[in-house]
Homo-oligomer: A and B are copies of this chain.
C-alpha cells in the first residue's frame, strides 16, 4: 500500500503506519508523504521506502503505480491529509483502480462525500473510513448485544466526547495539530464537531443500529479568536423514536480523549468509555450489572475476532485502529481471492458512514445557526 500525507510530525500518519504494521498483513511500499517535496523525500527515506517509490505528489504516484504490474503495484492508498485534501486523491485513486483508506471526516463537503459514494459503488472498490472507536472489541460486543435484542427496544442514547487540548488559543502558537483543525479552509465548516463530534455520532449509530432523524444543536466558539466551533452539544431523535444527547468539546480543560457512550433499552443499558476500553458495563433492570471484558470466552464472534491477546492483557487505541485495517485487508484479500469475506471482516466503517458523517456536520452546523428547535437530519 501507499500513503498520501502523513510525513514527519504528523500524528495520525504515524498511527496509521503502526496499525498497518501490527499484524504483518500489509506493507507500505510507496508514499507521497507531504505536499512539500523535500519533506516528502525526507519522510520517505526515514521510513525505508525504496527511492523509486518516494513521490513528491500524489498524482504522480497514483499514475505511476497504476502502470506497474499487478503483483508489484499497491493495492490501496491511505489518505491522511487535512480534510480539504481528501476528495481529489480519493477520487483519483478509485479511478486508477486502487482501494482507499480515509481519515474522517471523509471529505470537505457533503456533496463531495456523495460523489465519492457514487464512485465507490461504480468501481466496486473498497473504502475504509477510520472511525477508530468502532474497532474496539467491546464496542463490537456492545453492537451485538443491541442487535441481538438483549437490551430490548432502544430508548435513550447519551454519547459524549470531551477533550481539553484546545482550552487555550493553541493555534496562535503555531502548533500544527491545532492550526489546521481550527482553520475553516482546511477543516471545513465545523471544528470540534467535524473532528470529534463525527466520531461520537458514528459511535451512536454504529452501536445502536439506529439513525438520527432530527437534531437540535448549539455550537460555541469558547476560546477567543478561534474561527471554528470548539464546543457543542445536540439533542437527537432517532428513527425508532428513541432520543439522545451528543456532547463534543475540545475546551473541557483537563480532559484527554474521553469518548463515552451509554445506550439504554427497555431491559437494561450499556456503557462503554475508551478510558476503560476493555470493559463493557451492562446494567440490568432486575439483576446485577455485568462487566463484559475483552477476551472473555462469552463474547460474540465479532468481539473475539477483533481481539489479539488473552483476557487481562489490555488492548488499546492502536489495536482498535489496527482492527480497522485488518478487517479491511482481510475483506480485500478475500475479494482478490474470489472468496466471500466473513461477516466479522466486513464490519468496518466505509463510504456510507462517511456520507452520514458529512451530513452530521452539515446538519449540526445548520441547526446551531437556526432559531427553530428541531432540524430534520438531511443527507
Contact = CB atoms under 8 A, between A and B. Distances in A.
Q: How many copies does the complex hold?
A: 4
B216 A373 contact: yes
Nearest to A232: B243
Contacts of A313: 257, 274, 316-318
Given A164-B285, A233-B235, A243 B257 contact: no
A62 interface: no
A286 B297 contact: yes
A265 B293 CA distance: 20
A290 B288 contact: yes
The listed residue with most B CB atoms (<10 A of its CB), out of A245, A265, A290, is A245
Interface stretch (A18-26, A119-127, A338-346, A358-366): A18-26
Nearest to A265: B253
A295 B256 contact: yes
A39 interface: no
A253 B277 contact: no
Contacts of A373: 216, 218, 370-373
A275 B314 contact: yes
User: Which has the most chain B C-beta neighbours within 10 Å: A167, A257, A374?
Assistant: A167
Interface string A241-278: 00101010101111111100010111111000011111
B268 A254 contact: yes
A290 B290 contact: yes
Contacts of A152: 253
A103 to B, nearest CB: 15
Interface in A290-339: 290-293, 295-298, 308-319
A286 B255 CA distance: 10
A24 B24 contact: no
Given A269-B255, A372-B372, A277 B47 contact: no
A284 interface: yes
Contacts of A265: 253
A298 B308 contact: no
Contacts of A160: 158
Contacts of A255: 264, 269, 283, 312
A231 B264 CA distance: 12
B293 A257 contact: no
A289 interface: yes
B269 A264 contact: no
A290 B254 CA distance: 11
B235 A252 contact: no
Interface of A: 11, 14-15, 17-18, 21-24, 47-48, 151-152, 155-156, 158, 160, 162-165, 167-168, 216, 218, 220, 222, 231, 233, 235, 243, 245, 247, 249, 251-258, 262, 264-269, 274-278, 282-293, 295-298, 308-319, 370-374
11 contacts: A21-B24, A155-B231, A156-B231, A216-B218, A253-B265, A254-B285, A275-B314, A288-B292, A289-B290, A290-B290, A373-B373
